Structure 1
């Protein structure tokens, strides 16, 4: 019998927790068209498996974050993995679209791992060191979403789309065992009550930096959600790609994310968090914007389209570790709540942009409209990063004039 862990988790465990959460979103995406045919519904209805899942994940993390501040990270993660396991089995077996979609919503238990892995890192490290650790986790775990669509496309072609959900079930069971054996508690300053955690939320709401960091991260990750939601339709119409081919090409945005995260892990300790965010968002705006103009002008090609996705991924990799570390550093005693709330903003925004993508992207306009929407999200993220920098500079000047420590100005 495995002995319950009593020491902080290894980075490998946090990588697996985060990677599995991402796989739950994107591995089956190449199968959406086949799933719609199997269930006898429109493609738009099947899109709820992405957009609805993101919305449910947002609600789940709003609750899970404060729960982890009250009862600890470990029990909340274990419960989340157990829910994920049961829901995945139901998704794999049910022939009813309503039951499938309901179970799909409960697969959001997997997202507990992504939100609380950040809180566990912040429990142990200061902001810039936490950004380095988050970048390390992100750069390595990015292999999962890069391979996920390829694995999903292969499983669909070989065994049918349900094989992806069988694999989810096996992954959930394995991850529960790993967390039981390795994920010791890191929250050693638990709050007095669950209600106290929700009453502390106004502390976060009043922080302008919290909104700047969180919304920058939300719009940055939103570019990925836009891509996932519309890539199948856009690339099939423009390039005639099969699910298997699309699964391979979809890895380009994650390849870029790996490069950006690895770079962030090497250099972020030497720069302000807002500097890393601004550089990442500026790269994304330019890197997607110029190819979008070329595509609109009629220069349509797969290398151009997916090359823009690589640059988008690099920008995200430079941005999100610093934005995440900044979010959790606002009120360290509320790290779990901040992580849950910011993660909810990220996936809530993802649900909105995924839905909008479904409405706006068509077979006729997809190859231009999809990257255009990603540019808009990147511009919004850049605006939030610049807002954080403006706050930093204004409060540093005010603190210097008053002879105070600038870090205490917030």
Structure 2
């Protein structure tokens, strides 16, 4: 196969991102069987989830910098090769320690999510980048909905190792696709890591960068809060069983798909901060009104899950624009900016889910959950408004 020399098609970036998402959640239904097979407790087996998330955060920081120095293509191909090898080890090993080590190695799949955004930013301006990222996000959002279902079926038919065989096969397929359809897009590389690192202080001192990054982090955090608290809250408040709960859990993803669809169509016509504020207002309004209604004693399935649809919709409008903004500060180190922002999203997600677990209970859980989500949405809104204020102030200074 001839190596690609032209920029990738959007479908290649979608599959790269989707592969990263599937690696996180497809095997989750198999955790009890995996714990049995390795003869460890369920809590210890859960390291395969929590440890992977932490390792992903570290990986995202590293791969962003590497891609700015050496280019997007070699880092993505190397990451996929590591992911394939780690998946094969996970599928074959009988040793728990070896499995966990290989599972952490699977975090190399994060190259797809981080660098797909950087590749888009390499080719397009801020607004067009946001529209393209929204298209990727809209289609990619199907992966977390289908992943656990596919993994559960494969576990039932073939056993839990089938998921990791599937990962390896997906990795090989995506590697082959990237080989023929992912030419290099980053040409303004720094000559040395020292020269590259000297650019970082300017990035870190940028209030606009932190506004974009905080907005993105706390927007995504509302999803993490919902996923961590909803199973307890919904089962208690509405008496739903696992099957019905699984159906309703998809409402926030449905909202995200709708919001991403809106962004993909209109982001190119508006400033990034305008779309971010609009998305945050949709989410905060839906969640805030639901919180007030629940506090007043009005609890219902349409009210609760209607608010979740609006929350997801707001995220879909906010996230692509915030991500495009993060990489607009210093475009030639877009990979580093994307990696830092992605790592921040993971850390904020870990913090907010821990907080949710500590505060949500069976008595006041419905109100507490919607309130925490509202507060996260408000933090994101304040960050978006701060970016807007900087835009207006700099616009006046330039006479725009």
TM-score by length of 1: 0.88
Alignment of 1:88-103 (within 5 A): 88-94=87-93, 96-103=95-102
Task: Name the CA shift for 1:366/1:140 in 2 (closer, same or farther; >3 Å).
Answer: same
1:217 maps to: 216
Matched residue, 1:311: 310
Provide the C-alpha distance between the structure 1 equivalents of 2:316 and 2:142, rounded to a whole number of angstroms: 13
Structure 1 residues 13, 307: closer, same or farther in 2, change over 3 A? same
Partner of 1:332: 331
Distance 1:363 1:252, change over 3 A: same
Q: CA RMSD in A?
A: 2.6
Q: 1:315 to 1:43 in 2, by over 3 A?
A: farther
* 2:26 equivalent in structure 1: 27
Larger deviation: 32-41 or 277-286? 32-41
**Inter-partner Cα distance in structure 1 for 2:274 and 2:310:** 18
Structure 1 pair 42–306 and aligned structure 2 pair: CA distance change class (3 A) = farther
Unaligned runs of 5+ in 2: none
8 Å contact kept, 1:277–1:322? yes
Partner of residue 392, structure 1:
391
**CA separation of 1:42/1:360 partners in 2, compared to 1, >3 Å: closer, same or farther?**
farther
Residue 265 (structure 1) shift: 1.1
| Contact kept in structure 2, 1:283 and 1:312, CA below 8 Å | yes
2:149 counterpart residue number: 150
Q: Note the 1:4-403 alignment, pairs <5 A.
A: 4-32=3-31, 45-94=44-93, 96-236=95-235, 239-242=239-242, 245-295=244-294, 299-362=298-361, 366-400=365-399
Give distance in 2, aligned partners of 1:42 and 1:363. 25
Instruction: Give the distance between the partners of 2:23 and 2:312, measured in 1 at CA.
Output: 19
Q: For 1:124 and 1:77, how far apart are their aligned partners in 2?
A: 17
Cα deviation, residue 9, structure 1: 0.4
CA–CA distance in structure 1, aligned partners of residues 152 and 234 of structure 2: 15
Which stretches in structure 1 are left out of the alignment for 5+ residues? 401-405
In structure 2, what is the Cα distance between the partners aligned to 1:373 and 1:82? 40
Instruction: Give 1:183 shift.
Output: 0.8
Question: What TM-score, normalized to structure 2?
Answer: 0.90
Partners of 2:126 and 2:12 in 1: CA distance: 21
CA displacement at 1:284 relative to structure 2: 1.1
Alpha-carbon shift at residue 107 of structure 1 (Å) = 1.8
Counterparts of 1:189 and 1:129 in 2: how far apart (Å)?
20
Which region of structure 1 is more displaced relative to structure 2, 20-29 or 362-371? 362-371
Q: How many Å separate the matches in 1 of 2:87 and 2:173?
A: 13
